[in-house]
Amino acid sequence: MSHGAYSSLAREEGEVEGAVMLEEEEESCEHHHQLNSNSTGGRAVGPYRMCIVWCPIPVLTWMCPWVGHLGMSTSTGLLHDFAGPYTINTGHVKRLTRGGGLLWCQEVWGASPEEAAQKWDDAVEAASAEYANRMHNLLWDNCHSHVGYALNSLRFKRSTRWNTVTLILFMMLHSHYPSWRHVLQTYLPFLILLTFAALFFTFITA
């Protein structure tokens, strides 16, 4: 496979993995399944379908808890994330979050659930196809940019200005942790570092 590690084979393998692991995840996340009945027609939606998904990056998130890795999941729960130069990873959310916390924001809108799902999936696929041919840059062309590309094509929240900064703010204000364990996994290292820094500062200024 040349530039663009994103292919139909990767999608098919990810869909198989996602189907198996999504069933396990849904059993432990039943309290997260319900969305606004007006937008879904009262239909229960799985915990990580049509989501913007965030997870911590070791060391970097320990110092800045609002900084992490971002991806998007399709209407079937298949996660897409811009993982590195010319590389789009696909799979279940668990693949992204085995090492730490998880923050997610689920959105469904449109004239019908089916129409919304199709538009969302098309945007995710288009963003992945585009970023499979791009170099990854931590500061200005990164995982947040990949998600922003998809959201801009959707005119998500009637905006075409989604970028790293706006997505960080959006996730801080509108997303959810599945459990308190995930909250601790995200913030505990930062609090420990902050405590040590405070003790060190107190010691050298005493």
Give per-residue pLDDT as tens, 111-149.
688 888 999 999 999 999 999 999 999 888 999 999 999
**121 and 108 in contact (C-beta within 8 Å)?**
no
Task: Judge whether residue 26 has pLDDT over 50.
Answer: no
- Judgement on whether residues 168 and 101 belong to the same structural domain of the protein: yes
Single-letter residue type at 74? T
**65 and 72 in contact (C-beta within 8 Å)?**
no
- Judgement on whether residues 28 and 68 belong to the same structural domain of the protein: no
Q: In what order do the strands lie in the sheet with 68-73?
A: 87-91, 79-84, 68-73, 51-56, 103-106
- Note whether residue 200 is domain-resident: no
Q: So what's the pLDDT on residue 204? A: 92
**88 and 81 in contact (C-beta within 8 Å)?**
yes
Task: Judge whether residue 17 has pLDDT over 80.
Answer: no
- Judgement on whether residues 117 and 74 belong to the same structural domain of the protein: yes
- Note whether residue 206 is domain-resident: no
DSSP, res 176: B
Task: Judge whether residue 102 has pLDDT over 90.
Answer: no
Alpha helix segments (H runs only) across the chain: 8-28, 37-40, 60-63, 93-97, 113-131, 143-154, 164-174, 180-205
Nearest partner of 191 among 54, 55, 100, 63, judged by Cα:
63
- Judgement on whether residues 27 and 56 belong to the same structural domain of the protein: no
State how far the Cα of 169 lies from the Cα of 77, in Å rounded to an integer: 24
User: Region 53-70: what's the mean pLDDT?
Assistant: 91
- Note whether residue 89 is domain-resident: yes
Q: Which domain holds residue 34?
A: 1-38
State how far the Cα of 140 lies from the Cα of 119, in Å rounded to an integer: 26
- Judgement on whether residues 23 and 61 belong to the same structural domain of the protein: no
Which phi-psi region, left, alpha or beta, contains residue 4 (left: φ > 0; alpha: ψ -120 to 50)? Answer: left
* pTM score of the predicted model: 0.76
State how far the Cα of 24 lies from the Cα of 60, in Å rounded to an integer: 30
DSSP, res 145: H
Strand, helix or coil for residue 136: coil
More confident residue, 37 or 112: 112
Domain count along the chain: 2
